[in-house]
């Protein structure tokens, strides 16, 4: 994620929709007399063409590789050996049809909100009184990151829970990501997405629901709580906006304020490291997303860009391609990248950074009930003391022993348990 940014003047540049994704429509909310949305909910499935899959493999095989990095670690970026292992598996052993079948086995839909087609997965629980939850992904992400938690949340008795733990689950694709439409005019920032999600939940008939998210999903979920639409009763996040003012003030000097507890000092050091060493990708997308033509033209360029998010998640992915089994699989990683490749959403997704004007980690004055799960390999592991200050109605806090930034993807059992526990008091 990126710190507070000021976007440049709006650009008229857009990308044409491709044949492998739903037709994008211009956002029309700023146009006087615009036609009303088509509020119907249409079933959706995705099938990549054999030609597109063959072209993907051809492009991977034709990659023109640079020389190896000049250091023994990842301080110069995503390492050549990791990318070549990924390319070998992607071109020869990876099967997109497996992921496609898994996606199409779920109820997928499109509906128009604010002039744009929004894709979402919607799985209702078979249990009565299930609590509806809307789950939002981040960057570089898609709905594939949430697939592992849908079954345990909607069918808890099959996964070690009780019927009282049941959720109805809604997982939308953010505008410009995956199967949702690509905005054709500026204005689709996180605040607008938060409002669209409230519209979606109302359209689905939910009058009482909760929300969860990480990465961009954390900011959008917290903005939903700020906007407090009718029906939203609480939120859960694994990347809380909870940096106290004195921490924010101390970060430019890289010197922690006095009196921090060990947990607070560790959190300060982590967020300071991220701001100092981990923001190159976010700053480029916030300033010049259209310049990233390479990630629209080269699958290896896209894959390397997606891998270079934060140190801990990159190290996890590198270990996976070294044959270590933990959290993610090689297929998990490539499902996410391949979906972005087939839908040509590398740049349309990047523009969300350009649209954003908000800091990610600062408190937002949320008064709704909030549940927080703090993972050790997150950009910072939020101390309970900071969560209590940021969220006066903190209903759950837990410090997890394992997991990182993409928690639902990496540690689905932990996130499932956290959502069950975090929202139990709101049922």
C-alpha 384 chain-centroid distance: 23
Catalytic-labelled residue, pool 114, 117, 168, 215: 215
| Residue 410, phi then psi, degrees to nearest 5 | -85, -40
> Nearest 5 degrees, angle CA 243-CA 216-CA 185?
125
* CA 379 – CA 404 distance, rounded (Å): 8
What DSSP designation does 322 have?
A: T
- Give the HSE-up count for residue 207: Cα atoms under 13 Å, Cβ half-sphere: 1
- 281 is an active site residue: no
Q: Give the tokens for residue 20.
A: 């492998």
State the DSSP string of 137-161.
--TT--GGGGHHHHHHHH-GGGTT-
Which candidate in 117, 177, 405, 417 is catalytic? Answer: 405
The answer to whether 313 touches 375, Cβ cutoff 8 Å, is no
Handedness of CA 181, 184, 188, 189 (dihedral sign): positive
**Is 353 in the active site?**
yes
User: 376: how many CB neighbours lie within 10 A of its CB?
Assistant: 14
Of 177, 314, 353, 397, catalytic: 353
CB 30 within 8 A of CB 24: no
- Residues belonging to the active site: 215, 353, 405
């Amino acid at each position: 994620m990126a710190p507070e940014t000021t976007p440049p003047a709006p650009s008229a540049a857009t990308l044409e929709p491709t044949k492998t994704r739903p037709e994008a429509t211009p956002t029309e909310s700023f146009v006087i007399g615009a036609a009303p949305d088509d509020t119907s909910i249409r079933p959706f499935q995705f099938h990549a063409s054999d030609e597109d899959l063959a072209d993907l493999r051809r492009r991977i095989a034709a990659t023109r590789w640079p020389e190896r990095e000049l250091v023994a670690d990842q301080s110069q970026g995503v390492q050549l050996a990791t990318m070549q292992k990924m390319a070998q598996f992607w071109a020869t052993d990876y099967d997109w049809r497996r992921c496609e079948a898994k996606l199409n086995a779920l109820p997928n839909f499109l509906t128009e909100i604010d002039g744009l087609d929004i894709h979402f997965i919607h799985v209702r629980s078979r249990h009565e009184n299930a609590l509806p939850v809307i789950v939002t992904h981040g960057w570089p992400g898609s709905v594939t990151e949430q697939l592992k938690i849908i079954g345990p949340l909607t069918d808890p008795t099959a996964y070690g829970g009780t019927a009282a733990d049941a959720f109805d689950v809604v997982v939308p694709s953010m505008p410009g990501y995956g199967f949702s439409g690509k905005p054709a005019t500026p204005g689709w920032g996180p605040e607008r997405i938060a409002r669209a999600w409230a519209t979606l939940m109302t359209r689905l008939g939910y009058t009482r629901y909760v929300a969860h998210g990480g990465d961009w999903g954390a900011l959008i979920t917290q903005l939903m709580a700020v906007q407090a639409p009718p029906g939203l009763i609480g939120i859960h996040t694994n990347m809380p906006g909870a940096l106290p003012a004195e921490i924010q003030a101390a970060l430019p000097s890289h010197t922690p304020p006095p009196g921090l507890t060990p947990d607070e000092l560790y959190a300060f050091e982590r967020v300071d490291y991220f701001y100092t060493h981990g923001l190159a990708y976010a700053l480029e997308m916030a300033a010049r997303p259209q310049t990233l033509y390479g990630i629209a033209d080269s699958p290896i360029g896209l894959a390397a860009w997606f891998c270079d998010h934060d140190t801990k998640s990159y190290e996890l992915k590198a270990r996976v391609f070294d044959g270590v089994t933990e959290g993610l699989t090689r297929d998990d990683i490539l499902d996410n990248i391949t979906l972005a490749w087939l839908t040509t959403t590398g740049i349309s997704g990047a523009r969300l950074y350009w649209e954003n004007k908000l800091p990610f980690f600062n408190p937002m004055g949320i008064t709704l009930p909030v549940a927080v799960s703090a993972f050790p390999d997150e950009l910072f592991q939020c101390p309970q003391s900071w969560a209590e200050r940021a969220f006066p109605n903190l209903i759950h806090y837990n410090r997890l022993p394992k997991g990182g930034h993409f928690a639902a993807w990496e540690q689905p059992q932990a996130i499932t348990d956290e959502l069950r526990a975090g929202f139990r008091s709101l049922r």
